[in-house]
Amino acid sequence: MKLNTLFEQKKIVFSFEVFPPKKTSSIQTIYDTLDALSDLNPDFISVTYGAGGNPADHSTVEIASTIKHKYHIEPLAHLTCLNSTKEHIGQVLNELRENEIENILALRGDRNPDVPPKTDYRYARDLIEELNHHGEFDIAAACYPEVHPECPDMEEDILHLKEKVNAGASHLISQLFFDNNDFYNFLYRVREAGIMVPVEAGIMPVTNRKQIERMVSLCGASLPKKFVKIMHRYGDDPAAMQDAGIAYAVEQIVDLISNGVQGIHLYTMNNPLIARRISQSVASLIRCSNRAE
């Protein structure tokens, strides 16, 4: 099933993200994670591209196929293009077809200062255009409530976002954020720019200090004072920080649902315990909202 139909059928779409294990870990670890997540009944599960975005890693398609055929949950396969040739992208598309995977999150991918990028694709928009020409995939794209780290301002970032939607992206998944007002302000400007496709809010429960420091450095998300106080008070107590991080994520989700968000995309970090606690905390809200629809 193509995911764009979900947003037509439901008022709130609830989804997870998982990632392939590192090369030093067994592939079985992700299957153990999926076993623990599957009974939570997400609307779909996205799978990031390879181990650390490695284009030579084929585990994304393998994991996405397992999600679809073993757990009967729709997968969303990430596909990055900055370090890929058209030939390689064609090979991946053939693998997706063979495994009956219809949904792709089309991304540029992160720059690696030690590896010169390929020249076939410069931006996610270029990949989306190519995928759209095939006509057989539903295409999602990423968006950044606090502006893409490489973009000078929100105006230009939304211009690029509109290019991705015009190229064929049917829905958007946001980068993580910790202040819902940043998301609401972003969504207002997106709609004002004439971008009307569904936007899922990306939520990451932060359960340890190192995790938040790494995430902020990678994506540039800002930390509101409320969250900084939580981190300072509980950051040195792993159990307390986990409980506080889960509570903060649940509070974000409750507020987002109450304000009519079209979807919640939970970055699980392959931690089924945390995903379960959050999912169970908001399940009745999602059911109530979807019944109202």
Q: What are phi and psi of 112, to 5 degrees?
A: -115, 115
For the chain, the residue count is 293
Say how many C-beta atoms besides its own lie within 10 A of residue 187's C-beta. 21
DSSP 8-state symbol, 50: T
Alpha carbon distance 92, 109 (integer Å): 15
The answer to whether 17 is a known catalytic residue is yes
Helices (H), 120-153: 124-134
| Active-site residue, from 8, 17, 95, 163 | 17
Assess contact for 96 and 125: CB atoms under 8 A: no
Alpha carbon distance 56, 73 (integer Å): 25
Active-site amino acid positions:
17
